[in-house]
């Protein structure tokens, strides 16, 4: 199974404001929705869950999980699906759709796909937010900081340690981008033995300067402590650190974009009610509402009309931040990840 998407950098244009459509009433008085907790689910609560309940009279029964597909699969296999809608990341959506643990999305009941950003629609899921892995630095200690992804690999101009996520995904893409490969050619190059060698060779140039992070919270901590001069990081983590008093800057050049999706577990007790919830959750004005609380971009171009200018500057999907973006190809990593991770593990050890 593949996403119904084109593999290209996202582009945003305002298609015009779409008015919120009426949500049909159902006999049930609540709907069970599972998401990732924390600041992300708090933003969903304020922008989606509470407004949905106010509009329809249907209470949202919130559940939390850590993104484990096994938890969803076990529920489906038991024949007792108690969750109506679940927020999943792209790899989980790919695997779950392939294994038949998600219902198919009826796009005639959701909205026109032409309004959606590349990479955010699927047979089994409707995109909810776009986030990015980007380069960041501490402007309080580095006055003339990096401006492009190539600076991550320039230890002469920017001496010091660099923080990187301990995962081949994003690092190999950044390496090729910094080595001059255009964003729309990265996965074509990475799919060849020569391209893979080229990416690892680029990482070799800074291998001795890398401090690896594994949890998202570690990246801003490395910047704050001065242990690294710059780091790749998830844009939401940098935003939250700045809310707490830091002066971190994001380098949007060659950011790598990824998405989350609403999906319906197989056997959900009222698929029509689940579909109606998703339809509401992805209305342009509702999507824009999330940006008031967390800097994740809307998946529909028409939502841009509802985003406040002050919030737009922090979004990966803002036109000014999208000029050289790359969309993470999760299908590529599903097909090639095991082999590449073995090589990455060996590379780390040597």
For residue range 16-35, what is the model confidence (pLDDT) as tens digits?
333 333 444 445 799 999 99
Mean pLDDT of the chain: 91
Listed in sequence order, the residues at least 6 apart from 233 whose beta carbon sits closer than 8 Å to its beta carbon are 133, 134, 135, 136, 163, 216, 219, 220, 223
**pLDDT for 27:** 53
What is the torsional sign of CA 327, 185, 198, 91? positive
Residue 39 scores a pLDDT above 90: no
45: phi then psi, degrees, rounded to nearest 5: -60, -45
Domains of the chain in sequence order: 30-130+258-317 (3.40.190.10), 132-257+327-349 (3.40.190.10)
User: For residue 145, what is the DSSP state?
Assistant: -
Residue 346 scores a pLDDT above 60: yes
Q: What is the per-residue pLDDT across 133-159, written as a single tens digit (0 to 9) for each? A: 999 999 999 989 999 999 999 999 999
Q: What is the per-residue pLDDT across 218-270, written as a single tens digit (0 to 9) for each? A: 999 999 999 999 999 999 999 999 999 999 999 999 999 999 999 999 999 99
**Local confidence band at 7 (pLDDT 50, 70, 90 cut-offs):** very low
Lowest mean pLDDT among 107-121, 199-213, 246-260: 107-121
**Local confidence band at 112 (pLDDT 50, 70, 90 cut-offs):** confident
DSSP track, 182-201? -GGGHHHHHTSHHHHHHHHH
Report the run of H or E that residue 214 belongs to, with start and end: none
Q: How far apart are CA 270 and CA 264, in angstroms?
A: 10
CB–CB of 125/282 below 8 Å? Answer: no
Q: Which residue has the tokens 């689940």?
A: 274
């Amino acid at each position: 199974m593949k996403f119904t998407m084109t593999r290209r950098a996202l582009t945003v244009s305002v298609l015009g404001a779409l008015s919120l459509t009426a949500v049909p009433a159902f006999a049930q008085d609540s709907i069970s929705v599972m998401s990732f907790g924390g600041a992300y689910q708090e933003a969903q609560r304020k922008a989606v869950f509470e407004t949905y309940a106010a509009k329809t009279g249907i209470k949202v029964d919130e559940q939390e999980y850590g993104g484990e597909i096994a938890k969803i699969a076990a529920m489906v296999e038991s024949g007792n699906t108690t969750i109506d809608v679940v927020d999943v990341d792209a790899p989980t959506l790919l695997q779950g759709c392939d294994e038949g643990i998600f219902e198919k999305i009826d796009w005639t009941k959701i909205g026109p796909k032409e309004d959606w950003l590349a990479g955010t629609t699927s047979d089994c899921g409707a995109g909810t937010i776009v986030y990015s892995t980007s380069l960041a630095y501490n402007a309080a200690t580095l006055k003339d900081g990096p401006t492009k992804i190539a600076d991550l690999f320039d230890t002469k101009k920017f001496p010091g340690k660099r923080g990187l996520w301990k995962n081949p995904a994003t690092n190999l893409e950044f390496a090729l981008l910094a080595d001059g490969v255009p964003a729309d050619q990265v996965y074509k190059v990475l799919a060849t033995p020569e391209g893979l060698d080229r990416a690892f060779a680029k990482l070799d140039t800074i291998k001795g300067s890398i401090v690896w992070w594994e949890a998202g919270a570690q990246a801003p901590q490395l910047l704050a402590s001065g242990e690294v001069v710059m780091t790749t990081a998830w844009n939401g983590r940098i935003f939250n650190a700045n809310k707490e008093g830091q002066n971190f800057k994001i380098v949007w050049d060659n950011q790598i974009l990824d998405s989350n999706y609403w999906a319906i577990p197989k056997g959900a007790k009222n698929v029509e009610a689940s579909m109606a919830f998703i339809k509401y959750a992805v209305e342009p004005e509702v999507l824009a509402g999330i940006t008031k609380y967390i800097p994740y971009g809307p998946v529909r171009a028409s939502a841009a009309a509802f985003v406040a200018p002050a919030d737009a500057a922090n979004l990966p999907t803002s036109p000014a931040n999208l000029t050289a973006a790359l969309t993470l190809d999760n299908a590529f990593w599903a097909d090639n990840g095991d082999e590449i991770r073995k090589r990455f593990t060996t590379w780390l050890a040597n």
